[in-house]
Amino acid sequence: MSFPKGFLDELKGRIRVSEVVGRKVKLTRRGREFVGLSPFSNEKSPSFTVNDDKQFYHCFSSGEHGDVIKFLEKTENLSFIEAVERL
């Protein structure tokens, strides 16, 4: 299945990454970013960041990084198509 040109950028532009991630991770605003405990590793100090302006998340403890679609793929074990449909 393919999507029309620009569809994914438009979809990601309408959705704040922090809203989707915030359903699984307790986030706290720190400046322009949000921080929280990583959903990808067992940690005691928050090293997981979300940046809505740049539309990505990054986990400094595990190295995981991506956009809102990749987050759903990783945390809910979805395919790319399933993650897009979920949004």
Q: Per-residue pLDDT tens for 52-86?
A: 999 999 999 999 999 999 999 999 999 999 999 99
Question: Per CATH, is 7-86 categorized as 3.90.580.10?
Answer: yes
pTM check: above 0.85:
yes
Helix (H, G, I), strand (E, B) or coil at 35: strand
Buried b (16+ CB within 10 A) or exposed e, 41-57: eeeeebbbbbebeebbb
CA-to-CA distance for 16 and 57, rounded, in angstroms?
A: 11
- Domain positions in the chain are 7-86
Q: Residue 1: pLDDT above 80?
A: no
pLDDT at position 2: 76
